[in-house]
């Protein structure tokens, strides 16, 4: 009902906003691109609610967090069981609801804290746009943009609202909206879609639509959102729910009938028929539910979000933490990762001593014709100074062209960019010279004279401009960490592969000498090269995506870092996408992780955090599921033996609280940087089955003892409950290895509290006094259970190694 209200409210808001927009359309203002709106005009539009605020929500609201944590299948099952127990007055058996309530509360609190952390960081994650107001350029929040505002758009920027070009021309990447990767040229009067990105060129545009009227809002921002991770953890947990449900529902129904039939024929003296049937059936159901396992997963991930936030990393998709932890191939762009992004011009090499061209004047004017703020443009501006010529015709730089062009008034046309793209069939001498400089790690740009159409034919080379990347001091250490952790590094760059190879050598990348230029290669050739080489140069945006896709198709888990519009396609294709905050809006928008301090050296700690989560969740899940396996097996056993289920919910409280609940929570937060091996379900099964089978074996031993000695059912249940707790602590002991002071304290504390409850208030858990003979048999079973547990563990470990070897 609440969802319908929200939808209706959203629709009404959209209609109201459209009506206001339509009213303004009669008196629409066409602002001067040099002046923009006045303060008075902005104020009027703000008062009329004509601001760029969308009611479309993509994150989880606080209400939804409550709903998704409370209304789970297992929680609702526990509530139904609790209601049944209350109906027969079995209030002492309701203690399990304390565990359920604690788990749910912790889950809600941690997820809300993570949401608040992410919301705060999101505010710093670029949600800004440049506008012109009262003749001055201002930087404002995108939510402060009003109708008819004049946007200043430069390469790499995301267009905040649907707009119309007032002056200038740009190439726009609309791949997030249309799926089409080829940039679209936009001139004066053309429309720009909010959510797309400027690939090249600059312009000023009037905001035509705001808020819910924007095209991207009408798509519910699905186009802007990244593709969600194919999380093995999430898939495995959902599979576990289905498997447990398949067993639990029919067993519960049959057990209800079985208990009713048994107690009808063998009525209990102290309790009513309904009391016995409900309490015993409830015990069966509660034992099969891995209470808290799924909430613990959410808590562990939420805690990771907050920990990563302290390390200046914004998590935009929860399960990407796991995908990064499983990564075995990391694709890097040289700029911003291995290098700090800053560049400097080291030299200008004239290709003809007799040239009369003023290289400094030409390059300064070419760079000045555009408002590019990328690192190459900044380095050129710093070296060559201010422009002195006006461009009559210009062609901005793009990742596809890899050059820029300008035709100046009363002068020739010139091109500046990668020499292979600037001119066709360069001379052998020029190619050799460029290669020599590239081998020294320089990025080489060619300045050439061309025809007025900037074609590659008949270009006359004038000079080479040598730029140098500044390598990050911590890059070698970071690369070494990935190497030690068996993560392959692939460097994918638009630069000359020889230059990239030299940078890779300096920072210690393996196979730095295996490099290739992808210029002019077909898609099939790119696919073939993906595994043969480690360094890829002259890569187009489409080729980057093909490389990532190919590596994924070979069973690799691929993470991709990027900082520009040319990285969008590859970032969307990767299993885990990581953006550098200092890069473009485009990269940040589609990425699942954003390094807010633009520090590549923080990557190892991010990966380590993911490994901690996955490894610890595997351990904790094993504790929860051993009880589930035990309950299912014992239920089947008693049904086959035509007996009633022996346990009540209260008799599992100590196991659930001090062997499973509290230890699993604290273990999930412990450091664990071990590399993730194997599949989640197989790893959990390998840890769960030995403990579960030992729990079953020790309980069946008590049934055999009952048949031989004739002990009462109450004594049987007491002995079995104590044996279950002992075997549970055996399993917990294994999960805690290797011990540290915290794990040791936790283990001893839980054991001590458990023993204290058993000795001081045994009647609370419906335990009865047992004889010395019974105690002796219990001790023998527990002593025998430990070596059996170790033996079964070794068998499962051996079979697991054998399976991995066969694979």
Question: Using CB atoms within 10 A of its CB, is residue 545 exposed (0-12), middle (13-18) or buried (19+)?
Answer: buried
What the block records as the tokens of 639 is 């049904």
8 A C-beta contact, residue 438 and residue 498: yes
What the block records as the tokens of 117 is 């952390």
**Cα–Cα distance, 131 to 171 (Å, whole number):** 19
Beta bridge partners of 141: 128
**Cα–Cα distance, 509 to 535 (Å, whole number):** 9
8 A C-beta contact, residue 429 and residue 464: no
Q: Name the pairing type of β-strands 488-492 and 329-332.
A: parallel
Q: What is the DSSP string of 371-402?
A: ---SHHHHHHHHHH-S--S-EEEEE---TTT-
Say which residues have a Cβ less than 8 Å from residue 766's Cβ, sequence separation at least 6: 92, 648, 650, 651, 714, 717, 718
What the block records as the tokens of 521 is 């290669």
69: left (phi over 0), alpha (psi -120 to 50) or beta: alpha
8 A C-beta contact, residue 619 and residue 667: yes
Say which residues have a Cβ less than 8 Å from residue 525's Cβ, sequence separation at least 6: none
E strand segments, 439-592: 442-450, 460-471, 488-492, 515-517, 535-537, 558-562, 576-580
Beta bridge partners of 150: 132, 206
8 A C-beta contact, residue 563 and residue 583: yes
336: left (phi over 0), alpha (psi -120 to 50) or beta: left
8 A C-beta contact, residue 168 and residue 202: yes
For 165, list phi and psi in degrees, rounded to 5: -65, 125
- Establish whether 333 is a catalytic residue: yes
Report which secondary-structure segment, H or E, holds 648. Answer: none
Helices (H), 566-655: 568-573, 585-590, 603-640, 653-654
**Cα–Cα distance, 539 to 137 (Å, whole number):** 35
What the block records as the tokens of 302 is 């939420």
489: left (phi over 0), alpha (psi -120 to 50) or beta: beta
Given 93, 149, 333, 469, the catalytic residue:
333
For 346, list phi and psi in degrees, rounded to 5: -95, -30
**Cα–Cα distance, 214 to 210 (Å, whole number):** 6
What the block records as the tokens of 356 is 């009369």
For 413, list phi and psi in degrees, rounded to 5: -100, 145
Alpha-carbon 321 to chain mean position: 5
**Cα–Cα distance, 599 to 504 (Å, whole number):** 18
Which whole-number Å values give the CA distances from 457 to 183, 414, 454, in the listed order?
24, 13, 9
Q: What is the DSSP string of 232-265?
A: HHHHHHHHHHHHHHHHHHHHHHHHHHHHHHHHHH
Say which residues have a Cβ less than 8 Å from residue 744's Cβ, sequence separation at least 6: 736
**Cα–Cα distance, 688 to 684 (Å, whole number):** 6
Please list the active-site residues: 333
């Amino acid at each position: 009902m609440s969802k319908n209200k929200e939808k209706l409210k959203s629709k009404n808001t959209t209609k109201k906003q459209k009506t206001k927009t339509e009213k303004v359309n009669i008196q629409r203002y066409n602002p001067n691109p040099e002046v923009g709106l006045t303060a008075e005009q902005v104020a009027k539009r703000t008062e009329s609610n004509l601001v760029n605020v969308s009611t479309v929500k993509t994150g989880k609201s606080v209400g939804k967090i409550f709903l998704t944590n409370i209304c789970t299948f297992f929680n609702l099952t526990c509530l139904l069981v609790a209601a049944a127990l209350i109906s027969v007055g079995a209030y002492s058996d309701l203690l399990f609801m304390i565990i359920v309530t604690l788990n749910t509360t912790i889950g809600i609190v941690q997820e809300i804290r993570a949401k608040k952390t992410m919301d705060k960081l999101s505010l710093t994650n670029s949600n800004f746009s440049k506008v012109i107001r009262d003749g001055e350029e201002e930087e404002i929040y995108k939510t402060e943009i009003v109708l008819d505002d004049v946007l200043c758009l430069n390469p790499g920027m995301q267009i905040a609202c649907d707009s119309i070009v007032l002056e200038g021309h740009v190439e726009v990447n609309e791949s997030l909206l249309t799926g089409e990767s080829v940039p679209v040229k936009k001139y004066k009067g053309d429309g720009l879609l909010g959510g797309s990105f400027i690939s090249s060129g600059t312009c000023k545009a009037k905001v035509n639509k705001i808020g819910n009227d924007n095209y991207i809002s009408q798509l519910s921002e699905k186009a802007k959102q990244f593709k969600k991770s194919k999380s093995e953890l999430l898939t495995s947990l959902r599979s576990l729910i289905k498997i447990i449900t398949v067993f639990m529902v029919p067993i519960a129904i049959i057990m209800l009938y079985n208990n009713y039939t048994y107690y009808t024929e063998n009525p209990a003296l102290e309790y009513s028929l309904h009391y016995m049937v409900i309490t015993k059936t409830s015990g069966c159901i509660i034992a099969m539910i891995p209470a808290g396992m799924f909430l613990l997963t959410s808590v562990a991930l939420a805690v990771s979000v907050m920990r990563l936030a302290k390390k200046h990393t914004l998590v935009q998709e929860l399960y990407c933490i796991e995908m990064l932890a499983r990564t075995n191939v990391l694709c890097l762009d040289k700029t911003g990762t291995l290098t700090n992004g800053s560049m400097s011009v080291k030299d200008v090499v004239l290709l003809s001593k007799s040239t009369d061209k003023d290289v400094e004047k030409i390059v300064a004017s070419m760079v000045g014709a555009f408002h590019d703020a990328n690192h190459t443009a900044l380095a050129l501006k710093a070296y060559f100074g201010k422009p002195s010529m006006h461009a009559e015709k210009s062609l901005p730089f793009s990742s596809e062209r890899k050059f820029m062009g300008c035709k100046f008034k009363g002068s020739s046309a010139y091109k500046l960019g990668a020499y292979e793209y600037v001119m066709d069939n360069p001379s052998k001498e020029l190619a050799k010279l460029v290669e020599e400089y590239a081998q020294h790690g320089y990025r080489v740009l060619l300045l050439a004279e061309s025809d007025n159409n900037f074609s590659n034919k008949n270009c006359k080379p004038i000079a080479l401009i040598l730029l140098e990347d500044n390598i990050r001091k911590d890059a070698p250490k970071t690369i070494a960490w990935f190497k030690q952790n068996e993560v392959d590094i692939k460097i994918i760059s638009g630069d000359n592969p020889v230059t990239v190879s030299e940078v890779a050598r300096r920072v210690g990348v393996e196979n730095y000498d295996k490099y290739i230029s992808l210029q002019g290669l077909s898609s099939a050739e790119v696919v073939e090269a993906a595994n043969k080489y480690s360094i890829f140069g002259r890569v187009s945006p489409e080729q980057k995506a093909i490389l990532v896709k190919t590596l994924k198709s070979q069973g690799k888990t691929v993470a991709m870092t990027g900082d520009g519009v040319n990285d969008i396609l590859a970032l969307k294709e990767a299993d885990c996408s990581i953006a550098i905050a200092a890069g473009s809006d485009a990269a940040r928008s589609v990425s699942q992780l954003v390094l807010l301090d633009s520090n590549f050296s923080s990557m190892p700690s991010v990966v380590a955090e993911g490994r901690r989560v996955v490894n610890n969740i595997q351990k904790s899940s094993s504790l929860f599921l051993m009880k589930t396996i035990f309950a299912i097996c014992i239920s089947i056993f008693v049904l086959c033996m035509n007996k009633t289920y022996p346990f009540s919910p209260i008799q599992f409280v100590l196991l659930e609280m001090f062997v499973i609940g509290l230890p699993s929570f604290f273990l999930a937060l412990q450091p664990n940087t071990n590399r993730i091996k194997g599949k989640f379900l197989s790893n959990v099964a390998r840890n769960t089955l030995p403990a579960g089978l030992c729990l079953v074996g020790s309980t069946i031993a008590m049934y055999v003892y009952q048949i031989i000695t004739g002990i009462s059912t109450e004594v049987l249940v007491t002995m079995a409950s104590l044996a279950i707790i002992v075997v549970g602590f055996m399993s917990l002991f294994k999960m805690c290895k290797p011990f540290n002071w915290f794990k040791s304290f936790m283990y001893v504390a839980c054991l001590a509290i458990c023993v204290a409850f058993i000795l001081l208030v045994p009647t609370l858990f419906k335990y009865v006094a047992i004889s010395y003979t019974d105690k002796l048999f219990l001790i023998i079973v527990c002593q025998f259970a430990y070596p059996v547990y170790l033996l079964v563990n070794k068998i499962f470990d051996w079979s697991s190694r054998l399976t991995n070897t066969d694979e």
